[in-house]
Structure 1
Amino acid sequence: MKQIILTAFFLNISGMAFSQQTEQSKLIDNYVKEAITTNKIPGLAIGIIKDDKIIFQQYYGTENLEDPKKVSSTSMFRVYSTSKLISSVGVFQLIEKGKLSLEDKVSKYVENLPKEWQNVKVKNLLSHSSGIPNVIDFNDILPGDSNAKVIDRLSKEKMDFETGNEFRYNQTNYLLLTMIIEKISGQTFEDFIIKNQFPDSKNELVFSSNSIEKIPNRIVKYNYNSTTQKYEKSTAIDGVRAHSGNGLAITLPAFLKWSSHLSKNDLLQQKTREMMWKPFDFSNKKSDFAYGWEITKTNNSLSYGFSGGNVSAYRIFPDKNMSIILMYNGYNFFPPQYNIVNHIAGIIDPDLINPYSLAEESIITEFSKKDNPNAEKNYYSFKAKNPTWDFESTLNNIGYILMRNSRIDEAVKVFELNVKEHPQSGGAFDSLGEGYLSAKNYKLALENYKKSIELDPQNTNGVNMINKIQDLMKKN
């Protein structure tokens, strides 16, 4: 009798857990469908691991807009800069084996570096604190140029800042990390990564930074054309050297396996993971970034991850034994990856509910609507309840996105709102000046640029724009 009662008890507990997970899955599914509709996402895949089990794995929409093929477990999404996480793990695998050190100078492995680069270390590449010029800033560097030619070209440029001082996202860092990996391993970057991180999934991923290359089952990003109000396939070609920074295309099942291996310390020992996620000590004491990983804090819970191309994101929550993978192929207005991940994390674990992120998501959604009739009212309702919340950067980004979508009048209203909310921000006035300039209201553009310089005397952009506007006013 006792055995029967115990069995019934555990069956009841098990049933309650299953029912709770089912309800949770419904909430996630409903939210994802809503996000897809709001952002007009053509196709999406999402996977969630909790307590070493896949609790959610779903596919939505189509791989492309040219035919009705559904997104599935065989669809390989390009994850763009989320590729850097895999590259960073590869670096730390070499560190763990004693073949590399964070303190090693890059010049130990890469020959013929400029004199100004000699003090750059591996840790500076991973933390984007190198100060080396960014390869993507120079149009005369071609995708097919050799690494030696690229370095020679960049050596003619000044350092962007003193090494170690600050965070500045930079693709050259990962070009150099690729060269280091290949030098030490004696393998191509791609072979090294597949052998050491994807031995059980090697047919479910591919490295290619060429958007027009025909690869079976690979999904390419769509960019929304605000003029035609239609999606256009990306045609970017970045070359082999970009593989470590943006080249990975991967299926959701393969990404889930990788995440599981990372959580279980199959890829790196726990102490090595903790080293990888330790905040870098930037000299300016302002930047916050680990060794290749973003650091996010939600209600005292730390998580680590990255995003890529505004169409992918990965986040791992070590203290919650949870990870979230998000991949899609396009969006029509504001990059939604972070808000989607934050929202889903809160559905799974109430401790991860982020009220600010939920408010930001609502504010963006309302301003994205045509003529956004209720957007300001919605914004002020959040501010009334939470007066300390600051949405300056959010409003600024919304304004610029509206401008890029040829919604100039709406953009100006958002910039005006931002100035009203942040009357001491030189940046807010600078953006309002640009909004008025786009609207060809030169008088108000000039007034606001002058105000931006008054508040921020270091604003060289404002000075240049004032000269430009004065020339325009003379011609008119």
Structure 2
Amino acid sequence: MKSKLIYILFIICISGCKKATTKNDTELAQETQNNPVEVSMDTNAANFLKDSSVTALSIGIYKDDKTYIKHYGEIDRSKGNPPNDKTLFEIASITKTLTGTLAAQAVLDGKLNLDDDIRKYLDGDYKNLEYEGQPILIKHILTHTASLPSNNKGINELSRKNEDSLSFKFAEVEGKYSKDLYFNYLKEITLDTVPGTRYRYSNLGANLMGHILETTYEKSFSTLLDEFVFKKAGMTNTKMNLNEEEHSRLANGYDHKGNLMPHFPMPIKLWGAAGALKSSMPDLIKYMQFQLDNSNAVVQESHKKIYQEDDDEWVGYFWRVDENKEGAFYHHHGGMFGANTYFYVYPEYKMGIAVTTNVGGGRAASVLGEVADGLLDDLKPFGEKSISRAISNVCFEDVDKGIQYYHQLKKENLNGYNFSNENELNVLGYRLLRKGKIKAAIKVFTLLVAEFPEASNPYDSLGEGYFEDKNYELSLLNYKKSLVLNPENDNAKMMIERINNISRK
């Protein structure tokens, strides 16, 4: 329906224009409108830009040996300056996948072993980097299971304050950081669990991998990126530090309120292995092609599943790896205070998707994630379609009818839609919640709990729905249930404490 509408609007526009187009222009426009990839890009971009918090979007797709890149909106609100192929975006933690690729290269070169104790590559005594005699190994760093802190000293403390000026204070702390401070902090750390047993995302650990790679090759991290990734992939527009001309092409970043955000501190004083790269969409496409080359031994190694989170989710060399009956795919999200990027490679579909915006924060990340999901749902050549997208429009008009439609599709076309992934209904519930449709969101989250009664996250989401509805009794009940099912759910712990504090007032 949406694709047809775009085509009709295009025809109206053409017929109403006074200036005649040439035959070639008309044929080109017709070809664009009939191309399913282009239609999907335009349709999903239009939905993205309906959200008032975002103004710019760039999409890159590699499919059937063809490259598609389109840019939408404007980088700076009301400035009329759309992103383009030369625009540089902060890709943040997408950087980690390149760090993982270098680590895979080092393993194949015999420079590293996944079971190496990381202290083999550190100068000095780090007796603290073990728990009950179990040391941190290389594979624990790569899979975020090393039990290391999330960030450099001082960053987590800032995050807990949740102040409006957080981003600038973060930039100030990072800008003053040095390698000496980094290693001093590494000696202060006390592990609280056996390495390799618990996933805990760590930028500090990713930077440590940068140091380890420099030590093994006796080359700078930037040199290794250039030698083993950039030159082989043909990436000429991906940089750690920028010169004056390159900096002029770096997109300004904003929060969801439209406030200008700081860029990641430059020059990079540590290794930048956790998230300091900036890249253009054409370069991200080249990286996509590089990662889709299954004949490349380094790519194969970097995609190996090392740590299993649950039945169909793994972690590889910093890659998130999801596997279902349609095959495995590899992805990562990168977010800074003024940037969000999703990057996916689907070897089974011989396709890659990258979407990026210059707005940071969870709200923009959620909307951008919907774009990536929509593109995949439109373009994948086989497999189940998204049940969330199938019922979304109906749910926004009448949630009860939407839920009825869900049950109808499940009864009539069980194998045609993805009913097995709890995230489908979870995403839809949060879309409704974000639009202020709290009662409707609660109904979707209630359906989610009914469909996945043994999973922790559905109860957490329903708890949030009731919290937003100020029904603290039911919110507390669901957060407690979520915590029973997953005792490590820190969000549930925090919300239970918050609700108890409200009740005491």
1:256 matched to 2:285? The reply is yes
Percent of paired sites with the same residue? 22
Partners of 1:114 and 1:155 within 8 A in 2: yes
Matched, 1:206 2:239: yes
Tell me how far apart the structure 2 counterparts of residues 131 and 402 of structure 1 sit (CA, whole Å): 35
Normalised TM-score (structure 2): 0.71
| Counterparts of 2:456 and 2:88, CA distance in 1 | 44
Q: Which of these residues, 273, 287, 300, is aligned with residue 244 of structure 1?
A: 273
Task: Tell me which residue corresponds to 1:327.
Answer: 356
Instruction: Give the aligned partner of residue 359 of structure 1.
Output: 387
Normalising to structure 1: TM-score of the pair?
0.75
Of the candidates 37, 43, 47, which is equivalent to residue 56 of structure 2? 43
CA distance in 1, matches of 2:105, 2:485: 48
- The match for 1:384 is 408
Instruction: Give the partner amino acid of 1:139.
Output: E
Which residue in the other structure is 1:12 paired with?
Answer: none
State the alpha-carbon separation in 2 of the partners of residues 460 and 179 from structure 1: 30
Measured in 2, the distance between the counterparts of 1:189 and 1:427 equals 38
| Alpha-carbon spacing, 1:296–1:25, altered in 2? closer, same or farther (3 Å) | farther
- What is the aligned counterpart of 2:327 among 293, 301, 313? 301
Deviations 1:34-91 (A, max 9, x none): 222222253233333345x334233333233252122221111222211111111122
Secondary structure of the corresponding residue to residue 259 of structure 1:
helix
Cα offset for 1:149? Answer: 2.4
Asked if 1 retains the 8 angstrom alpha-carbon contact of 2:129 and 2:189, the reply is no
Counterpart among 92, 95, 100 of residue 112 in structure 2: 100
Q: Distance in 2 between matches of 1:348 and 1:283?
A: 28
AA in 1 matched with 2:286: K
What is the Cα deviation at residue 98 of structure 1?
A: 2.5
Q: Is the 8 A contact 1:171 1:245 kept in 2?
A: yes
User: Structure 1 residues 149, 359: CA separation in 2 closer, same or farther (over 3 Å shift)?
Assistant: same
Looking at structure 1, the residues matched to 481 and 494 of structure 2 have their Cα atoms a distance apart, in angstroms, of 14
Shift of 1:363: 5.3
Q: Distance in 1 between matches of 2:500 and 2:469?
A: 16
> Any conservation in 2 of the 1:135–1:171 contact (CA below 8 Å)?
yes
Q: How does 1:143-222 map to 2 (within 5 A)?
A: 143=174, 144-153=176-185, 155-199=187-231, 204-207=237-240, 215-222=247-254
- 1:312: Cα distance to partner? 2.0
Q: Could you tell me which residue of structure 2 aligns to residue 64 of structure 1?
A: 76
Say yes or no: does 1:138 pair with 2:138.
no
Q: How many residue pairs were aligned?
A: 438
Supply the distance in 2 between the matched residues of 1:426 and 1:347 (Cα, whole angstroms): 30
Query: In 2, distance between residues paired with 1:311 and 1:366?
Result: 29
Q: Which amino acid aligns with 1:125?
A: I
* CA distances 1:89-124 after superposition (whole Å, capped 9, x unpaired): 122223333322223221111234632425212222
Q: Report the secondary structure of 1:163's partner residue.
A: coil
Q: CA deviation at 1:420?
A: 5.6
Q: CA contact under 8 A between 2:115 and 2:137: conserved in structure 1? A: yes
Which residue in the other structure is 2:140 paired with? Answer: 124
C-alpha separation in 2, matches of 1:427 and 1:221: 31
What is the Cα deviation at residue 174 of structure 1?
Answer: 0.7
1:176: how far off?
0.6
C-alpha separation between the residues in 2 aligned to 1:319 and 1:194? 28
Distance in 2 (alpha carbons) for counterparts of 1:101 and 1:94? 8
SS in 1 for 2:75: coil
Instruction: Structure 1 unaligned segments of length 5 or more: list them.
Output: 1-17, 226-230
- SS of 2:366 mapped into structure 1: coil
On the 8 A contact 2:56/2:74 being kept in 1, the answer is yes
Partner AA of 1:292 in structure 2:
F
Q: Which moved more, 1:426-435 or 1:398-407?
A: 398-407
Query: How far does the alpha carbon of each residue in 1:281-325 deviate from its partner, in whole angstroms, 9 at most, with x for none?
Result: 459888522222122335433222322228323323334443333
